[in-house]
A and B are shown apart, each in its own frame.
Chain A
Amino acid sequence: MRKIIYTLAICAVTLVGSSCSKLDDYAAPSETLNGSVVDAGTGKTVQTEQGSGTRIKLLEISWSNNPTPFYIASMQDGTFNYTKLFAGKNVISAEGPFVPMVQTDNTGKTIVDKSQTVDIKGTTTVNFSVEPFLRIEWVGEPVLNADGTITVQVKINRGTNDPNFQQDVSDINLYVNSNKFVGNNNFDDRYSPLTSYGGTDGNAKLGQTLTLTTKGVLPGQRQYFIRVGARTNYGLKYYNYTDVKTVTAP
């Protein structure tokens, strides 16, 4: 009986001991890529929405000529910061509410390629200079009205002179939200006025000072985060945005 117990004990010790060898000996990714997507016309970052707006496309060509793309989502202010990349050579470009950085003609030939080939090691910074479809700028500061609404003024212009990317303006929206993440995928529909335009109607709004006012009555004693977004009928119809303004309702 004792013999059996000893035998079992020795087996157990051997198994436990021998299973302790590490097999996964490749270091975890630790390189950092950061940077921003900048409007070539104004030098400011191109505002976008959290999650479904600008994204950075990485093609790692250290191993393969035809790699599967890896995407990094941009923050809503147009900057990005990713800290868990492997070191390697990458072709990096950005996709979002601006004239595409890589364009092909109808035969598949690349006619424009502004992507950058970068060795990612340590902390690597990459900035992109792009032409947004629409450039939306605040005119003055938002005004909190006595009736519990907020009125803002903006001016919208085209951000590119290339007629291939000057499609009709289809939507101009004022977004209100209770936290700083605000955009077409994240807004309070009780207060946010949305306007769609058919055909060329929206183009008349370009270059004008537009006055937009929230819907309903905003409850007091809290902060509101507001932003204006607009888009054209190009491709995936990304929105361009202003930066986020905070209004405190007393």
Chain B
Amino acid sequence: MKKYTLIIACFFICWTTACKKLDVPPINIIQDKDVFTSTGGIQAYMARIYSQLPIEDFRYSPQRGLNFFWIISPFPAVTGEALSRDQTGAMQENVDESPWSDSYKLIRDVNYFLENMPKYAATYTPEQVNAWLGEARFIRAATYFALVKRYGGVPIIDKVLQVPAANVDDLNVARSSEEAVYDYIAADLDYAYTNMGETNQVGRANKYVAAGFKSRAMLYAGSIAKYNQVTLVDATGNRVCGIPSAKAVTYFKAAYDAAVLLENKYSLYKNGWKAGDKAAQYQNYVDMFFDKGSSENIFVRQYHYPESVHGYDAYNVPRQLMGANGYSSEVNPTLNFVEMFDGLPKNADGTIKTMTAGKYDLYTNTMDLFADAEPRLRATVILPGDVFKGQSIEIRRGIYTGSSAGGIGPLLPAGSTANYPTANIVQSSNATQTPYNLPGGGTLNPAGLSGVFSGDGTCAISGFSVRKWLAPDKPTSEVLENRSDQTWIELRYAEVLLNRAEAAYELNTAGQNDKNYLQDAFADINQIRERAGADMLASAANLNSIDIVRKERRKELGFENKTWWDMRRWRIADKEQNSTIYKILMPFYSANDKKYFFDSRTDERNVRYTFDVRWYYEQIPNGEIQKSQKLIQNPGY
């Protein structure tokens, strides 16, 4: 009987407790209502999509794609701004699916936000809701821009695609025309500008960020319309590669108007700048990249050790300041880059002057050649003998031991790509050096502490080392991979001014005269030049070539991962990199003169850059084409 009582008791216990509904939302998964009903939840959502925003920052290289720590094969060594021992020629991005599929994942996340956040709008003020929707659309626009600048016209996905779909064909979306994608970007950014506030957290967009991005995107669109030669039209008449040239003026005007919106909201960083004081102008330019309160920073991506890090310092410090990981000198500016700047002795053809009447000019110190150099150059590039982290960065190719009676003639004939002769030149093949006994006493290592070594590329192979972005106060013990956390400045006011100048110049060339565009471009360029400490343009009439505007842009934005895209949209990359060997500047010490001379020559490795015309439109990943038959490949792949 006791048994039965127990069974009945068990039965009732089970019965009553079983009366719970099992169909409850899993409590270990965060739901929409958990995320979208608090500002903290929305901030977390935003943090994730911002972290995936496809911008080419400290964690980008064309060889390994976005958001990857290892940045050897650096971007500047693809454009000709610099040489790197790990980059042996021109290339396009070699990243397979990455930018394409990552971008569409991000677009899906944004579309999800746009569709689902408004369901919880009652929790917030309408201003808050609109600002967030604007912010999401800014991110979507920036992502589409990352796609269109690579591939041309891409499929526009403006809603969350449902999987599994009733009809699989609905998931296959054909490419829109390149023009339609740029228009879509413009519409998203206009919405963002209208709906967002004037300020936001650092690292997040505000309305002016949207306007700044618009000036950038529209300038690209205008350039494609004006300079592109490649056409691809699909069966329904969408021009997926190329924009009708008649649209150039529309886009340049949109770029100009968007850039003007930022006037008086941001300004060039001049906190430490003093008129006529080159040292102060130099220091000001260096500080600009590290001052968190800089009035020039429009859109930044922040890093913080140890949870969000990069390794820019470790890969790029000069050899003599190498950290424990054994990396250094990945980015060595070419002489082609350095020659663009003012304040150097120049020949009539604009090349650097190192000789007089067929004999090398002699200098007591290597920095003497650069005594009057533009401050911006010193702040961008470590010149041989300049001071960095309290040390003089010693760059010397070798010791010339030949007679110096009557001056030293060229070591090699002009234009020669041969190796340096070994007679009369003492050199070092690596950092383990045998000191050379100088005539009259004393010894000197054949090469400098930071190179140049004849058999080891871990040195300043071009005769220069990069300075931009390098933390000026980081102790060598911390110069390690994944140990740097300086902020990446994706958009600064200087770029907006340069966008404005370029758009204005192009409008002036196109005969637009509703404003004095040439005068506007002239004023913008001179603002940049004044801050840089460069020679000023005397008058608007002196601004007589688009190349002046472009050169200013390449100098100001060098090593900021923008030049590659500029060379592509101007469609000059295939002319500039047409079996091209970039130039280097090699300092030698003449033992008999006890002075330095400089030899300007082509890259000793004889690395040739040839840009394939197909690369103006990157290959759409084959995996994507196999997934959707509506996707058509770009020409030539």
Residues in A lying within 8 Å of B, measured CB to CB: 52, 64, 66, 68-69, 95, 104-109, 170-171, 184-185, 189-190, 194, 196, 233-237
| A237 and B613 contact, CB distance less than 8 A | yes
Nearest chain B CB to A101 CB, angstrom units: 14
Q: What are 5 A-B pairs at a CB distance below 8 A?
A: A64-B629, A69-B633, A190-B417, A234-B229, A236-B636
Given A107-B237, A108-B238, does the pair A171, B229 have CB atoms closer than 8 Å?
A: no
Q: How far is the CA of A237 from the CA of B574 in the complex (A)?
A: 9
Bound complex: CA A236 to CA B228 (Å) = 11
Task: Count A-B contacts at CB 8 Å.
Answer: 51
Q: Is B437 an interface residue (CB 8 A)?
A: no
- A196 adjacent to B575 (CB under 8 Å): yes
B183 at the interface (CB under 8 A from A): no
Given A189-B606, A194-B578, A236-B613, A68:B629 Cβ within 8 A: yes
**Is B579's CB within 8 Å of the partner chain A?**
yes
The prevalent SS among residues of B at the interface is loop
| A66 and B229 contact, CB distance less than 8 A | no
CA distance A64 to B606 in the complex (A): 49
**Shortest beta-carbon distance, A229 to chain B, in Å?**
11
By beta carbon, the residue of chain B nearest A194 is: B579
Q: How far is the CA of A231 from the CA of B574 in the complex (A)?
A: 12
Contact B578 A196 (CB under 8 A): yes
A85: min CB distance to chain B, Å: 20
A236/B614 contact (C-beta < 8 A), A68-B629, A189-B579, A194-B578 known: yes
Report chain B residues within 8 Å CB of A106.
233, 237, 239, 244
Q: Which secondary structure characterizes the binding site on chain A? A: loop
User: Does any Cβ of A come within 8 Å of B231's Cβ?
Assistant: yes
Q: In the assembled complex, how far is the CB of residue A210 from the closest CB belonging to chain B, in whole angstroms? A: 19
Residues on A with C-beta less than 8 A from B579 are 184, 189, 194
Q: Shortest distance in angstroms between B636's beta carbon and chain A's nearest beta carbon?
A: 5
Expressed in whole angstroms, the Cα–Cα distance for A66 and B235 within the complex equals 11
Residues of B contacting A104 with CB < 8 Å? 233
Interface residue? B635 (CB, 8 A) = yes
User: In the complex, given contacts A105-B233, A107-B233, A189-B606, what are 4 additional A-B residue pairs having Cβ atoms less than 8 angstroms apart?
Assistant: A189-B579, A235-B635, A236-B614, A236-B635
B291 within 8 A of A: no
Interface size on B, residues (CB 8 A): 28
Residues of chain A lying within 8 A (CB to CB) of residue B233: 104-108
Q: Lowest 5 CB-CB distances: which A-B pairs, in order?
A: A108-B237, A107-B237, A237-B613, A108-B233, A236-B613
Minimum CB–CB distance from A70 to chain B (whole Å) comes to 12
Which of A66, A233, A236 is within 8 Å of B629, CB to CB?
A: A66
Cβ of B16 under 8 Å from chain A: no
Q: How far is the CB of B174 from chain A (nearest CB, A)?
A: 11
In the assembled complex, the Cα of A23 lies from the Cα of B606 at a distance in Å of 53
CA distance A104 to B233 in the complex (A): 7
B612/A52 in contact, CB under 8 A: yes
CA distance A233 to B633 in the complex (A): 22
Encoded as 1 (CB less than 8 Å from any A CB) or 0, chain B from 622 to 637 comes to 0001100100010110
Neighbouring B residues of A184 by C-beta, 8 Å: 579, 610
Instruction: Tell me if B608 counts as interface (CB < 8 A to partner A).
Output: yes
A185 vs B237: C-alpha distance in the bound complex, in angstroms? 34
Choose one: B230, B244, B612; the contact of A235 (CB below 8 Å): B230
Q: A108: shortest Cβ distance to chain B, in Å?
A: 3
Q: Which of A52, A66, A68, A171 has the most CB of B within 10 A?
A: A68
Task: Kindly state the separation between the CA atoms of A170 and B572 in the bound complex, as whole angstroms.
Answer: 12
**Cβ A171 vs Cβ B235 within 8 A:** no
A100 CB to closest chain B CB (Å) equals 10
- Distance A108 CA – B239 CA, assembled complex (angstroms): 8
* Chain B residues, Cβ within 8 Å of A233: 229
Q: Does B28 belong to the interface (CB within 8 Å)?
A: no
Task: Mark each residue of chain B from 191 to 235: 1 if its CB lies under 8 Å from any CB of chain A, else 0.
Answer: 000000000000000000000000000000000000001110111
Chain A hits for B237, CB < 8 A: 106-109
> Please, which residues of chain A bring their CB within 8 A of the CB of B608?
189
Q: Within 8 Å CB of B613, what residues of A?
A: 235-237
